[in-house]
Structure 1
């Protein structure tokens, strides 16, 4: 590696650090912008579908915006009402959970194990855990409080979608290769969010029905949480399952809790590992390691919403790197090698 290239790489690294620091400082504005862009990418597909059925563009536009507002208000109402009731009952749940732990410790002592009950209760620290749970749900509520700005952003982006296509063709009219890369990027983003939204809704609906069957408190709230956290790969489904599993342990029995855990695992494996890959195909092509560290990075930069947007943002960077010969090596590092082999055979 010569001195010029080394200097260039350090320059690029410094630029990346400055950009990330800027995003961190302006995270409140950036979150609204990113959410508006990605939500628009989902509903633009519905808008084009309605227009293809010869429905007037203005009517299609109003219908799509109305649907987005209705879904958002419904989610906000369900989360707000259920969360208030859940927080009011938290002290009772904490006492019941401590009682369950005491019974488990007593059972262990009956078999000859020496266990310090106070040390176990202090180590588990239920107040801190429930505090983390309510903070996570509260972060979703904070996101919903910015609802008006997001709606305005989505409305303007959808209104500009038709003219934006003409603008991109005008920009790349002398470079068809870059236009193809941009179309690929748009297609992958739309496909990812469309498939992920569908599978997330399916996950939330099935879990809600299952929790009603198991007689767990607040089934709709935990179904909505499961739907939202399905956008967070690797750890999202685990975080979404914990509150419902603990409530099952408190209010029902151990056998039902074990069956509920198996139910959660079966739903998440079947949807995340079977249905989603078949619907998405191999376009995502991100290494699991890259996905994991992108969750940490974007979660730190943009907060809880950054974890939801970690994969699409990282995929955007990968496609941008692959479009330039000097940065294709970065795209290779971010890729899943198995995916690249499959695509090369095709």
Structure 2
């Protein structure tokens, strides 16, 4: 491939990304419909293998996703309203906590500018940012009816789509094999990621209930959703609950809570998830970082949740074809493979 072709593909990519940004509201609904369909199609196949009639299988799957979506929306909506109602008391409580901490430091002979610290921390801005994120998620979930309709049509077309692919690739069995491999890996990734995200949110909600932190189910749902955002997602999801624990409990309990948050996220994301997902589906940390920036810019806050799934989809697509396999290698995290080879010697 000569240099002219590389520039052509680069220019094409720029035009496509610009188009996606302009049509981001529609694209987000389309991407989510496709991704969620790929997850629940496994459940659909399981039900049909169990001799459940096709129409009943569709109704069961759509009912599950509808009830789950409505439940998440209800929790976020109700909890957010209650949280906003108590926002002033939370801000006053944190300001008092900071003032008391400064007074304790000054007892040891240190001079601290109290006004400067309060202005720098600016808890009002932080809580505004937090409620804005949660509000965006709640607003987006309110449009989930369109996604459910999209899922219904995609699942209804899935069988005929397989027939169409066989007709398209009837003269090239290798391409059909590549597409099937691509589809299987995508389903495996989304199934594992969704399972580990739900597990993360459930465990964190139980932990927060035990420590009597306000809105434990809300922060559990946030932890589940932000588990799709690598690196920074778990940190962002932990901050509100940890700060609220300072008001509800002492510093020792808060430290224990921080340690538990880290343990849960590290155990699930770095131990359980890679074993279930397989090393071949790992992404380079550099690729993850820039994908967060790129898709966050293109698709907004939802793009940050979709950043890794979209990038993983591209990697699997590149990996499924021998001519683009080298791009998949560049996107991969080979550090774990190298460590495994070193341990074998």
| 1:128 alignment partner in structure 2 | 125
3-state SS of 1:309 partner: helix
Cα distance in 2 for residues equivalent to 1:256 and 1:102: 20
Q: Give the TM-score normalised by structure 2.
A: 0.95
Offset at 1:319? 2.6
Q: How does 1:221-232 map to 2 (within 5 A)?
A: 221-232=218-229
Question: How many pairs are equivalent?
Answer: 342
Contact map agreement 1:233 1:291 (CA 8 A) in 2: yes
Q: 1:342 to 1:97 in 2, by over 3 A?
A: closer
Offset at 1:91? 0.9
Contact map agreement 2:282 2:333 (CA 8 A) in 1: yes
Cα distance in 2 for residues equivalent to 1:119 and 1:314: 42
| 1:117 alignment partner in structure 2 | 114
Offset at 1:287? 0.7
3-state SS of 2:279 partner: coil
Q: How does 1:317-332 map to 2 (within 5 A)?
A: 317-332=314-329
Q: How does 1:80-119 map to 2 (within 5 A)?
A: 80-119=77-116
Offset at 1:28? 0.1
Summarize deviations over 1:167-186 as a string: whole Å, max 9, x none.
22222222222222211221
| 2:47 alignment partner in structure 1 | 50
Q: How does 1:252-331 map to 2 (within 5 A)?
A: 252-331=249-328
Q: How does 1:46-85 map to 2 (within 5 A)?
A: 46-85=43-82
Cα distance in 1 for residues equivalent to 2:114 and 2:272: 44
Moved more, 13-22 or 324-333: 324-333
Q: 1:14 to 1:194 in 2, by over 3 A?
A: same
Give structure 2 stretches of 5+ with no counterpart.
none
| 1:216 alignment partner in structure 2 | 213
Moved more, 197-206 or 166-175: 166-175
Q: How does 1:150-299 map to 2 (within 5 A)?
A: 150-299=147-296
Cα distance in 2 for residues equivalent to 1:255 and 1:21: 49
Q: Give the TM-score normalised by structure 1.
A: 0.94
Cα distance in 2 for residues equivalent to 1:343 and 1:41: 31
Contact map agreement 1:285 1:340 (CA 8 A) in 2: no
Cα distance in 2 for residues equivalent to 1:313 and 1:151: 20
Cα distance in 2 for residues equivalent to 1:185 and 1:309: 18
Q: 1:21 aligns with which of 18, 21, 24?
A: 18
The answer to whether the aligner puts 1:334 opposite 2:341 as a matched pair is no
Q: 1:196 to 1:323 in 2, by over 3 A?
A: closer
Contact map agreement 2:197 2:228 (CA 8 A) in 1: yes
Cα distance in 1 for residues equivalent to 2:136 and 2:160: 35
Offset at 1:342? 8.8
Cα distance in 1 for residues equivalent to 2:281 and 2:339: 13
Cα distance in 2 for residues equivalent to 1:279 and 1:289: 22
The answer to whether the aligner puts 1:5 opposite 2:2 as a matched pair is yes
Offset at 1:203? 1.0
Q: 1:41 to 1:342 in 2, by over 3 A?
A: farther
Cα distance in 2 for residues equivalent to 1:13 and 1:206: 44
Offset at 1:254? 0.8
